[in-house]
């Protein structure tokens, strides 16, 4: 086995490590509310989230295609670039996990990929696919693609939608249950919250597992174009990809690794989202999870790598604001927002530096 092939396998392993960390880093997104309301025990919630993450990963591949061909110029992407991007994302995810801050693994991946590719292109900003038209091969329809349309706009609108829709949904629920006895409210919504937690797990799987699928696909296509996969042994022939279609084995591998990471849990972030930001009961958890999961499913099918973290966090904020604005612990929210702001620039700079060192 050649040194080049061994390095490629190492890079693929690092990508899967990122996926595993994504699983436990973002486990809070799927289960924080259902744990904080004591509807499920932590292990029950993790098991539910892991199974639903696994299922959600197979619901589409639009986001994977965006990551593999809609962010940066693939001509500058090498296995070294992918390694630098992943190390940048892993470093930032572990740092924010240690601080208990629910930052975005999606934006860590995008920032790392952009920073490493920019370094490989020696600072040529044209390698960033900012905005371009894409024609659907089946329907002939023209749609806008690129960082601006698939990353920047959703990065701004999805948190706003989470906040507004969460607020409105909670308001509607309050109107419906205003004459209900507290016993029945807690009994009914504790059952409904199990459904909404599963729904959130599926949304998380759809949104996040696809991103790593896209990175692996991009890695293998780039390696094939560079001639690094020539003379592969027969048992590794499945690595040869010549287009950006995501193969079944990549879907299965990413889904299972992410599910395993989710089951490992990320208790620091679960504590921040589920306990520190807003005090919730089952009815509030149901509203927040349903809001976030719906946004993730819609944007996922549109090929937008939306942040699961931003969506569920702002949905929780919206639900909390519907109770009363003072119920939200704004000091915690401020720390979270700063982590959001710094994610893409920080991971981009880290990946840029790593690429300069090892490229």
Average pLDDT in the 160-165 region? 90
pLDDT of residue 265: 65
pLDDT of residue 302: 84
Confidence band for 52, pLDDT divided at 50, 70 and 90: confident
pLDDT of residue 102: 67
Considering the entire predicted model, what is its pTM? 0.82
pLDDT of residue 127: 92
Confidence band for 33, pLDDT divided at 50, 70 and 90: confident
Average pLDDT in the 336-358 region? 89
The alpha carbon of residue 62 and the mean position of all alpha carbons in its chain are separated, in whole angstroms, by 14
Confidence band for 28, pLDDT divided at 50, 70 and 90: low
Is 49:35 a contact under the CB 8 Å cutoff?
A: no
pLDDT of residue 165: 94
pLDDT digits (tens, 9 = 90+) for 308-318: 878 888 898 88
pLDDT of residue 167: 93
DSSP 70: S
Is 106:207 a contact under the CB 8 Å cutoff?
A: yes
On the question of pLDDT at 336 being above 80, the answer is no
Average pLDDT in the 169-194 region? 92
- Mean pLDDT, the chain, whole residue set: 84
3-state secondary structure of 347: helix
Domain boundaries, the chain: 3-358
pLDDT of residue 353: 96
pLDDT digits (tens, 9 = 90+) for 279-316: 778 898 899 999 999 999 998 888 888 888 788 888 98
What is the phi/psi pair of residue 5, to 5°?
Answer: -65, -40
CA separation for the pair 58, 325 (Å, rounded): 38
Number of Cβ atoms within 10 Å of the Cβ of 329? 15
Kindly give, in sequence order, each residue whose CB lies less than 8 Å from that of residue 285, ignoring residues fewer than 6 positions away.
Answer: 33, 34, 36, 37, 39, 189, 193, 196, 197
Angle between helices 282-301 and 153-176 (to 10 degrees): 140
The burial of 213, by beta-carbon neighbours within 10 Å (0-12 exposed, 13-18 middle, 19 or more buried), is given as buried
pLDDT digits (tens, 9 = 90+) for 192-244: 999 998 998 898 888 877 888 888 988 888 888 888 888 788 888 888 877 77
Is 169:287 a contact under the CB 8 Å cutoff?
A: yes
């Amino acid at each position: 086995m050649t040194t080049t092939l061994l390095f490629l396998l190492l890079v693929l392993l690092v990508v899967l490590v990122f996926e595993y960390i994504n699983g436990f880093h973002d486990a809070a997104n799927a289960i924080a509310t259902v744990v904080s309301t004591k509807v499920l025990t932590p292990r029950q919630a993790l098991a539910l989230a892991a199974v639903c993450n696994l299922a959600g990963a197979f619901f589409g591949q639009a986001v994977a295609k965006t990551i593999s061909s809609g962010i940066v110029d693939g001509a500058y992407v090498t296995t070294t670039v992918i390694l630098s991007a992943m190390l940048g994302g892993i470093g930032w995810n572990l740092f924010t996990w240690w601080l208990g801050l629910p930052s975005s693994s999606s934006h860590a991946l995008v920032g790392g990929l952009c920073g490493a590719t920019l370094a490989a292109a020696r600072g040529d900003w044209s390698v960033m696919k900012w905005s371009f038209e894409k024609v659907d091969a089946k329907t002939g329809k023209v749609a806008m693609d690129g960082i601006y349309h698939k990353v920047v706009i959703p990065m701004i609108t999805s948190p706003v939608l989470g906040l507004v829709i969460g607020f409105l949904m909670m308001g509607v629920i309050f109107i419906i249950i205003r004459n209900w006895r507290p016993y029945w409210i807690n009994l009914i919504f504790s059952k409904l919250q199990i459904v909404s937690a599963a729904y959130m797990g599926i949304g998380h799987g759809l949104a996040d597992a696809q991103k790593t699928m896209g990175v692996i696909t991009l890695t293998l296509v780039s390696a094939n174009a560079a001639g690094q996969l020539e003379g592969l042994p027969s048992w590794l022939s499945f690595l040869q990809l010549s287009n950006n279609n995501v193969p079944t084995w990549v879907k299965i591998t990413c889904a299972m690794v992410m599910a395993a990471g989710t089951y490992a849990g990320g208790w620091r972030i679960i504590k921040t989202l589920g306990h520190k930001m807003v005090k919730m009961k089952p009815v509030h958890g149901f509203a927040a999870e349903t809001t976030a999961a719906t946004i993730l499913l819609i944007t996922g099918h549109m090929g937008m790598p939306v942040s699961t973290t931003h969506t569920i966090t702002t949905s929780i904020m919206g639900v909390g604001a519907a109770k009363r604005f003072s119920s939200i612990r704004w000091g915690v929210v401020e720390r979270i927002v700063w982590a959001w702001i710094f994610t893409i620039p920080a991971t981009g700079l880290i990946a840029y530096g790593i690429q300069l060192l090892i490229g």
